[in-house]
Chains A and B, each alone.
Chain A
């Protein structure tokens, strides 16, 4: 039977180390909402989302209360809109769909809805292109809609035409939301090897391989790992790894419990648990602080990539045993603005964009929530996207880019996004050009799958 010590350990994790379930995300297929008339599509989408997700928020709150574990976000992911937008004749038609999604998300009370997306790793349909062109306006004129574009994969290579277009899209999104420091860009992720079942925003969408509806759960708990590692300072790597694994197991089991309960109560099949260490701006809820606890002075110092590789691997090893269905992104997230330890590292001069890029080779997900000067060229942003996509393509992993060019600000300034999005120092970007590279048309071919070295 459970004893006093175990009860107290669990409750301390929740109360003192910010243990929470980061998100319950309901995936909803909108493939059956297709119609040749945009008005009808909008009506179908609104009706389906409101019907399927009607009880999502209340169920999440009930579980939260009964188990005493905070469930921070209740969200929805949908079929990539590029796939259901065959009826759209212009970018404006897509924006009407975006506004419908925003209204539906508000009606059911979720705090984000992801899936204003296109999957274009090998090429763009007319609808995909129009959707991408509509992203800046869509994100500027909605509150809750998140957008993502998958521009590459290990099997198909990288669609450089999409990468070029997205450099401009990011800039345009930043411009249209310049009054709020480019916040629109915080809702736009560019992926390579995007998973179909990711519950985390802004990159969540409900892939075409999924069923009609599904419940995916994202767990978190950097604070809990940090606290556990404080107890083993100076110990060997095997003790360090064992401690991370045990902690990850406990965190994931809570996620599994919440997922099972939500799935039963909502009568929606359970999909996956995403085992991620997702930081928040709250003090102590930081992946950078874990790296510091492992032994580097600041995130970005020599040794950081190795420490992060170790952390990421142990989190997976511990979590895998706690749930039979693990998916999504599953790994340590290293966003800058959402992690106070990362912000401190940037301010101390320890962490650069290039070091972050190296770190993304060994963890999920990519260059995340990084504010850059507003005058950064579109081609430079495309170049950064292409580099990150290449890392994912060659290493058969998911990588992503979420950059925020902040108009009117430059290195040394800070931007405030508020809430879970946090605040960020503007980071320096390599000033040398790549126009001729980005200007080339076509695709980067898929890499060879043999002769690995």
Chain B
């Protein structure tokens, strides 16, 4: 399984997690872990997900998630976990 990291950053408001989770559920993406905090009024969330069985291509999912973010007024990025692993783990 190749894990995927989803990051959400922006101004806090009601329904951010709900909207992201709804999108993920509707495309068969399993959430493995969630870490979230509010830093200086800004909402930071990182999700580790398994997108191996998703019903769409990675590029489509990334673009659609970014669009979900636009509606919520937050920035959503979707990246393979490896880039963080190689940088922070020896």
A→B interface (CB under 8 Å): 1-4, 6-11, 62, 65-69, 250, 253-254, 256-257
Contact = CB atoms under 8 A, between A and B. Distances in A.
Interface residues of B, number: 26
B83 interface: yes
B84 A7 contact: yes
Contacts of A65: 58-59, 62
A254 B89 CA distance: 12
Given A4-B37, A66-B80, A67-B79, A254 B7 contact: no
Contact of B84 (A10, A66, A256): A10
**Could you tell me the dominant secondary structure of chain B's interface residues?**
strand
B44 interface: yes
Interface in B67-90: 77-88
Task: Give the 7 A-B CB pairs with smallest separation, nearest first.
Answer: A68-B79, A253-B86, A67-B83, A6-B88, A4-B35, A2-B84, A4-B46
Contacts of B16: none
Contacts of A250: 87-88
Contact of B33 (A1, A8, A66, A256): A1
A3 to B, nearest CB: 7
Contact of A254 (B33, B35, B62, B83): B83
Nearest to A258: B83
Given A65-B59, A66-B58, A8 B44 contact: yes
Contacts of A11: 7, 77
A320 to B, nearest CB: 13
Contacts of A3: 35, 46
B5 interface: yes
Nearest to A61: B59
A94 B18 CA distance: 64
B9 to A, nearest CB: 8
